[in-house]
Structure 1
Amino acid sequence: MELGISTFVETTPDVVTGKTMSHAERLREVVEEIVLADQVGLDVYGVGEHHRPDFAASSPAVVMAAAASLTGRIRLTSAVMILSSADPVRVYQDFATLDGLSNGRAEIMVGRGSFVESFPLFGCDLQDYESLFDEKLDLLMKLQQSERVTWEGRHRPAIHNLGIYPRPVQNPLPVWIASAGSPESAVRSGTLGLPFALAMIGPVRPLDFASQVKLYKEAAAAAGHDHAKLPVAAHAHGFVAESTPKAIEQFFPSTFARTNVRAVEKNLPPYTRADYDAAVRPEGALFVGDPRTVADKIIQLRKEVGITRFLLHVPHGTMAHAEVMESIRLLGTEVAPLVREEIARWEEKQ
């Protein structure tokens, strides 16, 4: 059972002062967070790609490369790369470079992206949303499998027996598919035999994702893959503090502000305190509380949904750096041991 952190490197206005920190300052904070996550024994840190003013990480591989030489064991992954609007060759080269700098700790997590700013930025047509992802995933898989590649598609110039460099330390370089819960993504991932990550965000019940994992494993088995060896990850917003009331109150202001920005953008109903209070309950989508509360929620997710990796997305919106660092510390030193010990006992009985 792996535990870690994910971030979009938010640079939203501070809910108290109204000020917005620079992208440069937030990027430096994230490097400190990755280093701390490594020090407290977390397994993985993920950085998501965005191309808008309220997020600073347009290049996850570069952010993580800054932390690679400062860390020793934590795995470094995108969370996610918007593959549809990217060049798979460049994505592979960037993460192969990160893999070398980190001595074999890089991973690529790809998705279609719920944010679409990258499509016009890189000259991609949103009308091709589905076909772009399918085609570019096919090329990325070819790059993963062979040093020299011959490939032809519709959206990108063909490649004729060309070498792709640098070569990664890991062979193959791990590639994950991430999804917000579409059955099609579960089946695609299973059929390809790729690790699968679920974004448990919004007004959802995390335990309901068991059906997606079931679809994924059935598709993997039907394609001849050993689904028992395929990892499944979950990503959810959350926050850990010394007490559950403290965690709930610290995490609310930025979550309320950030979620309502998205509600306006997507023409959704306003987010309320009642919505938040429902989400922090045991069955809700926010993993907020003291170490025991958060651990119990992760343990239940492992037992009932079947995940083998959990990424706590913190912060959601802009929070004080000290608060974020303390949440990471508690996740590594208190939550992770509780989860690992309980899951080890549970697995012995299976």
Structure 2
Amino acid sequence: MSDLAAVQLGLDTFGDVTRDADGNLLSDAETIRNVVEQAVLADEVGLSFFGVGEHHRREFAISSPEIVLAAAAARTTGIHLGTAVTVLSSDDPVRVYERFATLDAISHGRAEVILGRGSFIESFPLFGYDLRDYETLFEEKLELFSHLLEERPVTWQGTLRAPLTGADVFPKTENGLRAWVGVGGSPESVVRAARYGFGLMLAIIGGPADRFRPFAELYRRSLPTFGHEPQPIGVHSPGHVAETDQQAWEEAYEGFAAMNNTIGRERGWPPYSRMRFQRDVGPEGALYVGSPETVARKIADTVLTLGVQRFDMKFSTGTLSHQHLMSSIELYGSRVAPLVRDMLS
């Protein structure tokens, strides 16, 4: 079996608020409980990772991922649990480390943290941060977090946070904590991840995977220049699995359209359409939507193109129902994952 055939397959969710059988929006509370059930199923079907994103807006129920992940940790045994992503810029690195070290203890070493700046800005005014400091906040906090991962007393000084002098932070983990940086596609972000020796998670939410090949190659070249051993590269992309392509498209379209139009109204995007959707689910698009065979083939192509070690499918988008999400998880673990490994072996 080749190294690529050992690729890890995971799932990500933002806790999108979904609808019930009558078309009514679920409460945030029920959505969160459903996410825990989704994590349990992901573990049962043998997937490698379950990631929960942090947001602070009405479309997404989860603003405290670590609490949801701790609930999942108590009911799972093998799957790794982490964020997708933790918005480090508007959080405190010490508190982030403490929360994930605690999650690592509860899960017996299965915690991971994916750090990023996030694609939404609501957390900045909510927690009193100035968007004019957007770049500096992330750079300084990422540097501090890298020191905290060494689990030794930290002396550090930046410009936007009180300095630390010999600060020791608890709890300690048993075997360290894996950290990644989520990157949307800028060379500077790729080099930053390499500088700290963190894993690289490429968020590919538009266009073909091939256009991210230069970023993967830049990351691999950069790691040794900073004195680091090879680190994993992962991909995060939206998707949905059903028995047939047509069924998957019909189930997924409304949710994808609703989410794109909601965000599009804020950002000046044109209305989403069936034509756009069919392009996005095609070979040159970033949506992994279709039958197990179709989705597996597209994932295998992405793994081969970029040489990645993990693929995380963002399985919840918009108002796609909990029932359909559970079916997608089942098919992803029981049929897509084995097909991907067969195609790559």
Q: Tell me if the contact between 1:147 and 1:167 (Cα under 8 Å) persists in the aligned partners.
A: no
Q: CA deviation at 1:226?
A: 2.9
Q: CA deviation at 1:146?
A: 2.5
What are structure 1's unaligned runs of at least 5 residues? Answer: 346-350
Find the counterpart in structure 1 of residue 240 from structure 2. 239
* Greater mean deviation of Cα atoms: 189-198 or 1-10: 189-198
Equivalent of residue 212 in structure 2, options 206, 209, 213:
209
- 2:21 aligned with 1:5: no
Q: Tell me if the contact between 2:204 and 2:237 (Cα under 8 Å) persists in the aligned partners.
A: yes
Between the aligned residues of both structures, percent identity stands at 46
Find the counterpart in structure 2 of residue 324 from structure 1. 325
Q: Which amino acid aligns with 1:220?
A: L
- 2:266 aligned with 1:265: yes
Find the counterpart in structure 1 of residue 224 from structure 2. 221
Q: CA deviation at 1:220?
A: 1.2
Please provide the CA RMSD for this pair. Answer: 1.3
Q: Per-residue displacement from partner, 1:229-285 (whole Å, max 9, x unpaired)?
A: x11110111001111111111110111111111110111111111110101112211
Question: 1: CA distance between counterparts of 2:94 and 2:342?
Answer: 41
Q: Which amino acid aligns with 1:209?
A: F
Q: Which amino acid aligns with 1:91?
A: V
Question: 1: CA distance between counterparts of 2:246 and 2:142?
Answer: 44
Equivalent of residue 108 in structure 2, options 100, 103, 120:
103
Question: 2: CA distance between counterparts of 1:15 and 1:261?
Answer: 20
Find the counterpart in structure 2 of residue 92 from structure 1. 97
Question: 2: CA distance between counterparts of 1:308 and 1:94?
Answer: 26
Q: Which amino acid aligns with 1:198?
A: L
Q: TM-score, normalised by structure 1?
A: 0.94
Secondary structure in 2 aligned to 1:176? strand
Q: Which amino acid aligns with 1:165?
A: F
Question: 2: CA distance between counterparts of 1:111 and 1:22?
Answer: 27
Q: CA deviation at 1:341?
A: 2.8
Bigger relative contact order (CA 8 A; separation at least 6): 2
What are structure 2's unaligned runs of at least 5 residues? Answer: 1-6
Q: CA deviation at 1:41?
A: 0.2
> How many equivalent residue pairs?
339
Question: 2: CA distance between counterparts of 1:29 and 1:289?
Answer: 23
- 2:330 aligned with 1:333: no
Q: Tell me if the contact between 2:258 and 2:319 (Cα under 8 Å) persists in the aligned partners.
A: no
Question: 1: CA distance between counterparts of 2:45 and 2:77?
Answer: 12
Equivalent of residue 198 in structure 1, options 179, 195, 202:
202
Q: TM-score, normalised by structure 2?
A: 0.95
Q: Per-residue displacement from partner, 1:66-118 (whole Å, max 9, x unpaired)?
A: 01010000000110000001000000000000000000000110001110100
